[in-house]
Structure 1
Amino acid sequence: MSGPQYKLTYFNLRALAEPTRLLLKHANVDFEDIRITGEQWKELKSKTSWGKLPVLEEGDFILSQSQAILKYLGKKHGYDGKTDQETAKMDEMIGAMTDFREACIAYNQEKDEVKKAEKQKFLYSETFPFYLGRFNEILENNESKFLVGNKISYADFYVAANFQTTQMYIPTALESYPALKAHQSAVFEAPGIKEYVAQRPVTPF
């Protein structure tokens, strides 16, 4: 009897691997969810293509870079667009979400208290309204209530997972954005994902 089709190696965190986990769970595809420690990573790092996790293994095929992994599996399992233009828009959503996430990370990692206060002010007054407002508007204008087209896509997994991380340290982040809240529910209540979320490890982010 053959084992899982894929091995996904990452730390015991949601972060960069979670969108791919959500996709595979929704697709009902068996995979080995390998979660390594910092000590294990010291030994493994030099053996990876780019010194980064996550890493996907599919037999002899090894793929690094989280977005490349998500898009590869998305296309393979039917979570890309019906047209090249739809797929391009999905990638646009991922790019915008990445910009938002990096702004949040820059704030969280700032050590200087004065600079951190300045970044917090900008985050709350500019970054959050801009990105959350744009995503909310996109969802309001799409009858399917997903980001692109009429079905759930790899962009939905990426955006939902990253906004859920944001909610872990800013619980009220989505309160003023009902379409975005509804999108979160649609993704995390979806078959396969709901069951996974109920039993996944509790992690800081």
Structure 2
Amino acid sequence: MSVKLTYFNLRGRGEIIRYLLKYGGIEFEDIRIPFEDWMQVKPTLPFGQLPIYEEHGKVSNQTAAIARYLAKKIKIAGTNDWEDLELDALVDTLHDLLQKVSNFYHTKDQQHRTELEKAVLNETIPFYLARFEEIAKKNFGFLAFGRLTWADFFFVSVIEVVDGMTGKDSLQSYPNLQTVMSNVIDLSVIKEWRKERPTDLSIRCIRPNL
């Protein structure tokens, strides 16, 4: 198969790419690296990180860059340079949210972890989601332009990880963001993928810098 995605048997940073490939009807080989093989695989990768995307023998890394490329390919990117800038800003902001939650999640010192968890649940997540909620309200249940874009898919994949790390339903108080979520996961091809995709390993298995 000419298209391959290599990641762990997790949703994590790989799922946005799987979503876009499925939505775009692009057949791909879904390669999932067992954790026990990771230290052997890591040195063979361009920057020692996953996911890795391969197309016709060409290889690329970096989740957002791969997702942006696929979005253009399947026509859910911006229609001009400014729209692309808006989408990039949304995605980068979502990445900021994910990184802050990840910092809490991977902290080993229990006292510091407890402090970070409180800040993440009471300050960080509400700060970001309240602003995204207003954006979604203005865009009729999407994150931009009143239509489906790759930022919506990125949002869904980030919230899945955030909820897994916190053990909470992050969107419970945000009806417009719930609509963003529904506008992605209720797509027939995405709904089918979510039913058939392999069982995700516990979020507790995620390691830093994957």
TM class, shorter-chain normalised? over 0.9
> Does residue 1:146 correspond to 2:162, yes or no?
no
> Does residue 1:15 correspond to 2:8, yes or no?
no
Distance in 2 (alpha carbons) for counterparts of 1:56 and 1:19: 12
* Alpha-carbon shift at residue 134 of structure 1 (Å): 0.8
Aligned to 1:41: 38
The one-letter amino acid of 1:150's match is: G
Q: Deviations over 1:117-136 (max 9, x none)?
A: 22122112211111010111
Distance in 2 (alpha carbons) for counterparts of 1:77 and 1:181: 24
User: Where do 1:154-193 residues align within 5 Å?
Assistant: 154-168=150-164, 169-193=166-190
Superposition misfits of 4+ residues, deviation over 3 angstroms: none
Q: Does the residue aligned with 1:57 lie in a helix, a strand or coil?
A: strand
Aligned to 1:107: 104
Cα contact 2:142–2:179 (8 A) shared by 1? no
The one-letter amino acid of 2:163's match is: Q
Q: Does the residue aligned with 1:151 lie in a helix, a strand or coil?
A: coil
Q: Which of 70, 74, 84 is the matching residue for 1:77?
A: 74
* Alpha-carbon shift at residue 171 of structure 1 (Å): 3.0
Q: Does the residue aligned with 1:133 lie in a helix, a strand or coil?
A: helix
The one-letter amino acid of 1:122's match is: A
Cα contact 1:140–1:179 (8 A) shared by 2? yes
Q: Percent of aligned positions with the same letter in both sequences?
A: 35
Aligned to 1:122: 119
* 1:104–1:148 distance in 2 versus 1, CA, 3 Å: same
TM-score, normalisation: structure 1: 0.92
Task: State the aligned residue count.
Answer: 201
TM-score, normalisation: structure 2: 0.90
> Does residue 1:25 correspond to 2:13, yes or no?
no
Q: Gapped runs of 5+ residues in structure 1?
A: none
Aligned to 2:206: none
Cα contact 2:3–2:56 (8 A) shared by 1? yes
Q: Does the residue aligned with 1:51 lie in a helix, a strand or coil?
A: coil
Q: Deviations over 1:151-191 (max 9, x none)?
A: 22111111111102222343332111111111111111112
